[in-house]
Chains A and B, each alone.
Chain A
């Protein structure tokens, strides 16, 4: 369970996040939708305590991120916008590194890692050095290392960015499995179809503010548009930065 209350963050004169409030519940997929530059990444960065909010509160499973950031990070599995791997290490070694930083005992590490390698269908690349990996192989590795400690809450920043159709489908399936396991899944996207197809709840962000927070059906009803795309355009006020 992730709760965000009245978050503010400014860079100089630019208000990147200007009063964002929403909640992402366990056993649900929550989509953070908004055009490029709306403040999605900055909001997520405050969630996983990379940045400190100027104002507002972040609670993860009831833990205040300002009070105990380490405990919050322990509850989170994060696929950030930056998803660089260590190219001179193999995929398995990349995953192991994060597992040890999470403090996983070695026997549990092995079990968890092999389960993820199977679940993400990456057995054929697991012992290759990640230099020269395709975008899809990189994302798989980055997701595996983010989930190695079996986190209750999963944050994915534009996870399907740069993936081909097959990889995108596989990733969506994987996210549905995370939801089925009862986890709280929060992901950001600027692709409406993706959000519409996956989410139990959609939080629409524009210019640093939440302009809508509802289920896909409620959104359609709220805006009077049967088509989600038209609903978004209406909410955001323009179709700039959105992709179908």
Chain B
């Protein structure tokens, strides 16, 4: 022990000191590492890819695969049956009670041709064939459409032939024709599928910073190390900024890993089969990072705020899992009621990022105005949230653990 001397004091590096210590300490925590760098950021791209692949392949399969349909009374309409077979339908032997079989989900649909069919056909009267299905079953939808289209096409063709046989032009029977001109580009079609992407990115940020936010406030108080920390000659706002920077570093790293994951996974999504294009490469990743930059600070501040309020580590965990529901709002709202994006919406945190990322996916890019609104609006929110948390850090109660 030396004799008491006054030490020259340098405090400019306090924020950096806190930041480096928190990063180093948390890099040694396996649970934080796993959730921030492994499960959090990589699970979403993987799940996303599986989901998209499943959806796309199911749709494609339905359109190309032979469709097995039990037909009752096949012998009454051999020509119709031939037309169906050309369209990929494989007629199956009749089932005894088709209504019951459909209700029991044994079959998706059944076709019934009445014995009156040949008689009516000969007389040139309209004949009815019945399709038995259950529309509350999602699976039956595409097969029903396929069989209906085939039968209607057959009917139109036969109708046209009858008119020709009577010396009339088939066009007389079709006074109005609808010409569908879809203005969707391949990219804009992808947007429908990729509506959930912005939420996944926010979720990744959230999970990436969550354990740190809890650990650095509620956790440190619970372990009784906050009081000795505050006994050091460092203003509390500097301690808070150091901790905030550490949370941001982890959530940013989490998002970067996630974006790299998506750019890899993007190659395995068979969007080409649906006539779509998808760009999840470096340019997309950099733009997402830029859009999310203020969101990173905003989320970290909110997480710190909530954990500073909580009385214990567990309580903080509970509150934060509730807060995690918040970022899903824009995705859900926009999916349920598609509203036309207005300029001001870009300045709303979360919503702005959502719209911006969808613009990127759509391939049109984010306009400078929208980019400025998005960054500005969220930055203001981030500064406010950080300011409130800083105020909370100054309160006496924050440090007291017992």
Contact A100 B225, beta carbon cutoff 8 Å = no
B226 within 8 A of A: yes
Contact B7 A108, beta carbon cutoff 8 Å = yes
Residues of A within 8 A of B17 (CB): 97, 100-101
Q: Scoring A residues 64 to 108 as 1 if CB is less than 8 Å from chain B, else 0, what string do you get?
A: 000000110110101111111111110001000110111111001
Q: How far is the CA of A71 from the CA of B7 in the complex (A)?
A: 12
Residues of B within 8 A of A79 (CB): 228
Q: Measured between C-beta atoms, what is the minimum distance from A232 to chain B in Å? A: 25
Contact A50 B29, beta carbon cutoff 8 Å = no
Q: How far is the CA of A71 from the CA of B234 in the complex (A)?
A: 10
Interface residues on A, range: 35 or more
Partner of B233, one of A73, A81, A86, A116: A73
Which of B87-95, B299-307, B312-320, B394-402 lies at the binding interface? B394-402
Q: Scoring A residues 136 to 170 as 1 if CB is less than 8 Å from chain B, else 0, what string do you get?
A: 00000010011001111000000000000000000
Contact A150 B4, beta carbon cutoff 8 Å = yes
Partner of A81, one of B1, B220, B227: B227
Chain B, residue nearest A101 (CB): B232
Contact B1 A84, beta carbon cutoff 8 Å = no
Contact B4 A82, beta carbon cutoff 8 Å = no
Residues of A within 8 A of B26 (CB): 88
B8 within 8 A of A: yes
Partner of A103, one of B1, B9, B402: B9
In chain B between 205 and 256, which residues have their CB closer than 8 angstroms to a CB of chain A? 220, 223-235
Task: Take A70-B235, A76-B231 as given contacts and tell me if A85 and B225 are in contact as well, using a CB distance cutoff of 8 Å.
Answer: yes
Contact B224 A74, beta carbon cutoff 8 Å = no
Contact B227 A88, beta carbon cutoff 8 Å = no
Contact A82 B232, beta carbon cutoff 8 Å = no
Residue among B8, B21, B233 having the largest count of chain A Cβ atoms under 10 Å: B233
Residue among B9, B13, B228, B402 having the largest count of chain A Cβ atoms under 10 Å: B228
B283 within 8 A of A: no
B65 within 8 A of A: no
A217 within 8 A of B: no
Which of A174-182, A199-207, A218-226, A234-242 lies at the binding interface? A174-182
Contact B225 A102, beta carbon cutoff 8 Å = no
Partner of A183, one of B4, B229, B402: B4
Contact B228 A142, beta carbon cutoff 8 Å = yes
A128 within 8 A of B: no
Label chain B's interface by main secondary structure: loop
In chain B between 7 and 53, which residues have their CB closer than 8 angstroms to a CB of chain A? 7-11, 13-14, 17-18, 21, 24-26, 28-29
Q: How far is the CA of A85 from the CA of B233 in the complex (A)?
A: 18
In chain B between 52 and 101, which residues have their CB closer than 8 angstroms to a CB of chain A? none
Partner of B29, one of A74, A88, A101: A88
Residues of A within 8 A of B231 (CB): 48, 50, 73, 76, 78, 80, 146
Q: Measured between C-beta atoms, what is the minimum distance from B165 to chain A in Å? A: 89
Residues of B within 8 A of A104 (CB): 7
Task: Take A83-B228, A108-B7, A178-B1 as given contacts and tell me if A51 and B396 are in contact as well, using a CB distance cutoff of 8 Å.
Answer: yes
Task: Take A50-B230, A105-B10, A181-B1 as given contacts and tell me if A84 and B225 are in contact as well, using a CB distance cutoff of 8 Å.
Answer: yes
Contact B28 A80, beta carbon cutoff 8 Å = no
Task: Take A74-B233, A101-B234, A177-B1 as given contacts and tell me if A149 and B7 are in contact as well, using a CB distance cutoff of 8 Å.
Answer: yes
User: What are the nearest 8 A-B pairs in CB distance?
Assistant: A84-B224, A84-B225, A82-B224, A82-B227, A101-B232, A73-B233, A103-B9, A84-B223
List the interface of chain A (C-beta within 8 A of B): 48, 50-52, 70-71, 73-74, 76, 78-89, 93, 97-98, 100-105, 108, 112, 115-116, 119, 142, 145-146, 149-152, 177-178, 181-183
Further contacts, 15 of them, CB under 8 A, given A74-B233, A83-B224, A87-B223:
A50-B227, A51-B396, A73-B233, A74-B9, A82-B224, A82-B228, A86-B25, A86-B225, A89-B24, A97-B21, A102-B7, A104-B7, A105-B8, A119-B1, A181-B2
What are 27 contact pairs spanning A and B, CB under 8 A? Answer: A50-B227, A50-B231, A50-B396, A70-B234, A80-B228, A82-B401, A85-B225, A87-B223, A101-B229, A101-B233, A102-B232, A102-B233, A103-B7, A103-B9, A103-B10, A103-B11, A103-B13, A104-B7, A105-B8, A112-B2, A116-B1, A145-B228, A146-B231, A149-B7, A150-B5, A150-B7, A183-B4
List the interface of chain B (C-beta within 8 A of A): 1-5, 7-11, 13-14, 17-18, 21, 24-26, 28-29, 220, 223-235, 396, 399-402
